[in-house]
Structure 1
Amino acid sequence: MSKYDYAGYFNRIREIERLVVPAQEINWLEQYAKPEKSVDVVLYLGCNVLMTAHLAREVVRVFEALGVSFAAVGGPQFCCGIVHYGHGDRGASTRLTQATVAKFESFGAKEVVMWCPSCNKHFDDVILRELQPNFTITHATAYLAARADRLPFRHEVHRTVALHSHCGRQQQEADAAAGRTLLEAIPGLRVTGLVEDAELDYHCSNVIIEKIGLERFHAIRHRLAEDAAAQGADSIATLYHSCHREWSDMREPALDLRSYISLVSESLGISEIDRYQQYRRSRDVDVTVGAGREAWHSHGLTEEQARALARKHFLKSRYETKGSVDSG
């Protein structure tokens, strides 16, 4: 058993979630219960997206707009096992994986749509080979791009967007192509091209940032943003929630940062507030506590507790805080 702080890892997710989304707005299943009916699709959000919970809410609402028979699940109770696997705790990883796969299969769905790139990778590399579950997996970008003509777009989105993607792996290149197809279906929106760097591996995560160093990551990020501006973009669209987190404090060049799912949601008229980016950019406890009051109050926190969490997670860069790393 490794000495990795798994409790701290998952507590960070829960603590930030309480600052960014009111309890009554959680529109996905976090606590497993035996399904009363079967569905066609399980939308698997993963764990870390709950820190940028507006993205989870938006993708669920997009699926609702499609009229899909689905169940959305996410959070530590549905962990895919990649964190334990990566730290050498293979037995614990296998047990988590088996439990999560069994939960998916209980919904009767033949397809699981993956939101998280880390979960997607772990399923591809390990789970599908070892367990052979009775469902297929598809990344959310591919699933939505194939159904773009069914999305009930209501509003033009007058933006010129560069898509921040990743390269060097077949899955990431497929995600980028599908993401671009989906963005190009949005009325009024123009895609200038991709901004990517192979040094960033398959997503912007703590693993790669710690490998290359924060200064190097910021230099690559700045260069990619300048590339986007040179393409004529006024906005950068992220494919993955991990990238959205790691780009959310960027100030120069002055480009808007939006997830691809947020741009889809904007055109559908179902946008959510990006509290995570607001908090990261402000680094102000008063801003976090004030803007997040409805969220933390709904989770039963006192203002003193909310202030403590705001100081812990948003006052400093997450890489200045020991034990603040994430993998997905």
Structure 2
Amino acid sequence: MDFAEALDARMEEIASACTQCGKCFQACPMTVPAGIHGAEPSFVLSGLVDILRGKEGNAEAETWASVCSSSGNCIEACDYGVNPRTMVRLAQFASTRRREGESVKNNAMKSFRAMAKAVRVVSRMQLDASLIDELQSTPGRKKLEAPPDVSLYTGCNIHKTPHILILCLEVIRAMGLTYEVVGGPSACCGLFQFHAGDAETSGRAGLSTLNQIEAIGAGEKLSWCPSCQTQFQDVIIPNRKRMTGEGDFALTPFFLFLERHIDQLKKLFIHPVRKRVALNERPGEPHVIRAVKRILTEIPELEFVELDVQRAGLMSNYLTVTPLFKDELREKEFRAAADAGVTTLATIYHACHRELCHYEKTVTFEIINVMELIGESIGVKAEDIYKRLKMMDEVEAMMADCADLIKSHGLDPNEARDVLLADQLAANPLQGRFVGR
């Protein structure tokens, strides 16, 4: 059985298990912004089941699958042991594969190459070559003599905001642990290919990366990116078990690892952080949110503030399919943070940080990543160059700031400029109504 066959078998298994009661649809935060909240839930689910079985389904089911933001509200709503988030993701894949037909491989290749180019260029406009090599998988790099304490799978796009990853590694070192990094485009989870409907290439990429992680032999296998985490746990690992019978592989999200070692971590929190902090929360991985809050409460003199606002999406970029809804959530969060008198709004994930950090110019609080708070208490720092660049607004100012790195890396200036614009780093950077200053 190959990967595509295993995926088809799994979709049929889930389709057969679904009772089409519609409770997951009713729990979804995306139905209102998508304009399908008035649809009969059981009708939508019947269409979704048809899509899983390779049929056309119905328009409401197609729309629901296309706007899934992986918020996870649906998971607890199911009484029948089905993971509705996985079911909708698989339906989205099946719908794309059916619609695009023979174009899926070409679409997948274009999507992956665009991502890889953006990661390569944006990271190199911030860091020199030696640090780039340290932060991602480098073929031929000398390995440690003994298996490390931890391996950290980074995913790809965190390399656009490398200060977050640098701080993760600094914290691991401060804990006295050895590590090996796996990540960057050469270690892909297969998500881009999966979204394009290409099961074969997605499986090949994801399974290869699992092999890379396993080969390190680390005592604990960690992951950073929630997109990669869900891709592995929802798609790649279950398929590998179906194909080979090997099902004991698991990745631990980075913040759960820190929470697990909280007693050790607390001893490193030697510097008070006198800030009033709210979190930019995402509901997709609630155990990660819980872990982050626990960690923040251990930082001396840090005051944590809960914001009573709606949350949606695995990360902020998962809401791009409903841009007005995304803007509305951001505006409400900014208003609530300002009303609460916070000094700091802390992002958890890299994609959220990329989308929010430059709004610092228009609000009454700083916007930083939670790793910066952890690093501050431990006594380690890393400059957020991405935010510094994005707050320049104009692409030519960014190009001038990075001129030496562009030259040293041998980047084509025209390509660098195009990437900055295409990656939204310099394109219409402040589209929002809230002004808090």
Say which is worse superposed, 259-268 or 42-51, in terms of deviation.
Answer: 259-268
Q: 1:202: how far off?
A: 1.5
Structure having greater relative contact order (Cα 8 Å, sep ≥ 6): 1
Please name the residue that 1:270 is paired with.
380
Matched, 1:300 2:406: no
Matched, 1:62 2:171: yes
Q: 1:279: how far off?
A: 1.6
Please name the residue that 1:142 is paired with.
256
Matched, 1:163 2:279: yes
Q: 1:111: how far off?
A: 2.8
Q: For the pair shown, which has the larger CA radius of gyration, 1 or 2?
A: 2
Runs of 4+ in 1 over 6 A off after TM superposition: 302-305
Distance in 1, matches of 2:314 and 2:309, equals 10
Q: Is the 8 A contact 2:309 2:332 kept in 1?
A: no
Matched, 1:15 2:121: yes
- What does 1:118-129 correspond to in 2, within 5 Å? 118-129=227-238
Q: 1:283: how far off?
A: 1.2
Q: 1:133: how far off?
A: 5.4
Q: 1:309 to 1:126 in 2, by over 3 A?
A: closer
Say which is worse superposed, 305-314 or 240-249, in terms of deviation.
Answer: 305-314
Please name the residue that 1:324 is paired with.
none
Please name the residue that 1:78 is paired with.
187
Q: 2:315 aligns with which of 200, 203, 209?
A: 203
1:235-265 CA-partner distances (Å, limit 9, x unpaired):
1011111110111232433221111111111
Matched, 1:191 2:304: yes
Q: 1:128: how far off?
A: 2.5
Q: 1:37: how far off?
A: 3.3
1:178-215 CA-partner distances (Å, limit 9, x unpaired):
011111222221111246534x321111x421x212x3
The count of corresponding residues between Structure 1 and Structure 2 is 313
Please name the residue that 1:259 is paired with.
369
Q: 1:7: how far off?
A: 1.3
Q: Is the 8 A contact 1:23 1:299 kept in 2?
A: yes
Distance in 2, matches of 1:13 and 1:98, equals 22
Q: 1:149 to 1:195 in 2, by over 3 A?
A: farther
Say which is worse superposed, 96-105 or 226-235, in terms of deviation.
Answer: 226-235
Q: Is the 8 A contact 1:155 1:267 kept in 2?
A: yes
Matched, 1:102 2:211: yes
Q: 1:184 to 1:291 in 2, by over 3 A?
A: farther
Q: 1:164 to 1:111 in 2, by over 3 A?
A: same
Say which is worse superposed, 26-35 or 84-93, in terms of deviation.
Answer: 26-35
Q: 1:111 to 1:126 in 2, by over 3 A?
A: farther
SS in 2 for 1:270: coil
Q: 1:194 to 1:297 in 2, by over 3 A?
A: farther
Q: 1:120: how far off?
A: 0.8
Matched, 1:315 2:426: yes
Q: Is the 8 A contact 2:121 2:416 kept in 1?
A: no
Q: 1:223 to 1:201 in 2, by over 3 A?
A: same
1:160-181 CA-partner distances (Å, limit 9, x unpaired):
10011112x4xx2111110111
- What does 1:228-247 correspond to in 2, within 5 Å? 228-247=337-356
Q: 1:222 to 1:319 in 2, by over 3 A?
A: closer
Q: Is the 8 A contact 1:19 1:296 kept in 2?
A: yes
Distance in 2, matches of 1:13 and 1:116, equals 14
SS in 1 for 2:186: helix
Q: 1:291: how far off?
A: 3.7
Gaps of 5+ in 2: 1-102, 241-245, 432-437
SS in 1 for 2:362: coil
> What percent identity do the matched residue pairs reach?
27
Q: 1:312: how far off?
A: 5.5
Normalising by the residue count of structure 1, what TM-score does the alignment of the two structures yield? Answer: 0.86
Gaps of 5+ in 1: 321-328
Q: 1:267 to 1:289 in 2, by over 3 A?
A: farther
Matched, 1:179 2:292: yes
Q: Is the 8 A contact 2:319 2:325 kept in 1?
A: no
